[in-house]
A and B are shown apart, each in its own frame.
Chain A
Amino acid sequence: DVKVTQSSRYLVKRTGEKVFLECVQDMDHENMFWYRQDPGLGLRLIYFSYDVKMKEKGDIPEGYSVSREKKERFSLILESASTNQTSMYLCASSLAGYNTDTQYFGPGTRLTVL
């Protein structure tokens, strides 16, 4: 079974803090993704990575950055957290390849910025 883990289930941070969300997958997947989930908006892609040290912007990258130093780990960074970044953050991974492969998700991190 594919296993995607996220470092925290719940986080509470203050405005202006630097926040790190960590994601690890154990299936040797090339692709990794970060989404945020807000009521009524579904999941929106923040960033994705298709290889170590590679990253691509998704639909809503503003206010976020990412890091992928190892294949199994993909970090989402909020350089200066703001209240409008309060949300559920979901990490996913998938195999690379010509066909769109299934993305497998972690349990999510619910972040509250006060």
Chain B
Amino acid sequence: AQKVTQAQTEISVVEKEDVTLDCVYETRDTTYYLFWYKQPPSGELVFLIRRNSFDEQNEISGRYSWNFQKSTSSFNFTITASQVVDSAVYFCALSGLNNAGNMLTFGGGTRLMVKP
């Protein structure tokens, strides 16, 4: 069975601070995909990144960066110089290649509050 753990339920930072959201996963699949989604107060989940298990290169997109470490089964997400608009709930998710219908397993989410 697959499992995704986001140990931080809530994080509060002051604007311009850097913040890292942790994600640890469990899977028996050798090929799998990892995702991060952002859910702002409006409710809609916004796709941020998709990474397959063979690509361990870190990725940077503007103020966002992702650190994938297969050895520790982690896929952490860092926001540099946080802004108030980054306030949201962030979900990490996992899908195995053999899952029928490409089902996703989600973590419990981390609520990030960025204060001005």
CB under 8 Å from chain A, chain B span 50-67: 50, 52
Q: In the complex, are the beta carbons of B44 and A42 less than 8 A apart?
A: no
Interface residue? B45 (CB, 8 A)? yes
How many chain B residues touch A (Cβ–Cβ < 8 Å)? Answer: 30
How many chain A residues touch B (Cβ–Cβ < 8 Å)? Answer: 31
Q: Which of B33, B43, B52, B106 has the most CB of A within 10 A?
A: B43
Q: What total count of A-B pairs have CB within 8 Å? A: 68
Q: Which residue of A lies closest to B109 (CB)?
A: A42
CB under 8 Å from chain B, chain A span 51-108: 56, 58, 88, 90, 92, 94, 96, 98-108
Q: In the complex, are the beta carbons of B100 and A103 less than 8 A apart?
A: no
Interface residue? B72 (CB, 8 A)? no
CB under 8 Å from chain A, chain B span 73-107: 91, 93, 95-97, 99-104, 106-107
Q: In the complex, are the beta carbons of B43 and A107 less than 8 A apart?
A: yes
Q: Which residues of A contact B (CB under 8 A)?
A: 9, 31, 33, 40-45, 48-50, 56, 58, 88, 90, 92, 94, 96, 98-108, 110
Q: Which residues of B contact A (CB under 8 A)?
A: 4, 6, 9, 32-33, 35, 37, 42-47, 50, 52, 91, 93, 95-97, 99-104, 106-109
A-B contact pairs, 7 of them (CB 8 A): A31-B102, A40-B108, A43-B91, A48-B103, A50-B101, A94-B102, A100-B102
